[in-house]
Amino acid sequence: MSDTQCAPRMIDLRLAPAAAATWGATWWATGHRAPWESIGACALLALACAASYSCSSRGRRAPRHALTPPGSIRLSLALLLACVACALAVGSVAGRQYDADPARRDSGPIHARVRLQTDPAPASSGFSATRHTHARIEAVAAGEEWIPSHATALVNAPGWDSGARGDIYEVWGSLDATFAADAPSVGTIRVRRSRLIERPGGPSAWMRSTHQAFARACSSLPRDARALVPGMAIGDDRGMPADLAQAMKTTSLTHLTAVSGSHIVIILATVTLVVPARKTLRLTATILVLGTILTLVGPEASVLRSVCVAAVAALGLILGRDGQSIAALCAVVIATLLIDPWAARSYGFALSVLAALAVVGPSSALIRRSRRRIRGDTRAGRTLRRVVEMVCVPALAELATAPLIVSLSGTVPVWGIIANVVAEPAVPIATIAGIAGALLAPLSIPVASACARVSSWATAWIAETARLCANLPGNGVAVPGGASTVVGIYACCCCGWLAWRAWARWGAPRIDESERIDESEMSAQE
Full DSSP string of 192-222: EEEEEEE---THHHHHHHHHHHHHHHTTTS-
Task: Pick the range with the lowest mean pLDDT from 26-35, 83-92, 283-292, 422-431.
Answer: 283-292
Q: Is 172 exposed, middle or buried (0-12, 13-18, 19+ CB in 10 A)?
A: middle
Kindly state the average pLDDT of the residues 147-157: 90
* Topology of the domain covering 108-200: OB fold (Dihydrolipoamide Acetyltransferase, E2P) (2.40.50)
Euclidean distance between CA atoms 293 and 213, whole angstroms:
17
Does the pLDDT at position 1 exceed 90?
no
Does the pLDDT at position 218 exceed 60?
yes
Task: Pick the range with the lowest mean pLDDT from 76-90, 128-142, 452-466, 481-495.
Answer: 481-495
Kindly state the average pLDDT of the residues 55-77: 60
- 310 or 457: which carries more pLDDT confidence? 457
Does the pLDDT at position 239 exceed 90?
no
Contacts of range 384-392, beta carbons closer than 8 Å, 24 or more positions apart: 390/421, 390/424, 391/417, 391/421, 392/363, 392/366, 392/367
pLDDT band at 251 (very low <50, low <70, confident <90, very high): confident
- 71 or 128: which carries more pLDDT confidence? 128
Calculate what percentage of the chain has a pLDDT beyond 70.
81
Euclidean distance between CA atoms 373 and 6, whole angstroms:
9
Residue of 329, 264, 401 whose CA lies nearest to 23: 329
What's the pLDDT tens digit per position in 262-281? Answer: 677 778 777 777 777 677 77
Which residues lie across from 478 on neighbouring strands?
411
Q: Are 57 and 367 in contact (CB under 8 A)?
A: no
> Per-domain residue ranges for the chain?
3-56+70-98, 108-200, 207-476
Q: Are 274 and 249 in contact (CB under 8 A)?
A: no
Residue of 274, 304, 275, 278 whose CA lies nearest to 291: 304
Q: What angle do CA 99, 103, 106 make, to 5 degrees?
A: 85
Kindly state the average pLDDT of the residues 443-462: 91
Q: Are 151 and 167 in contact (CB under 8 A)?
A: no
* pLDDT, averaged across the chain: 79
Task: Pick the range with the lowest mean pLDDT from 236-250, 363-377, 400-414, 423-437.
Answer: 400-414
User: What is the identity of the amino acid at 280?
Assistant: T
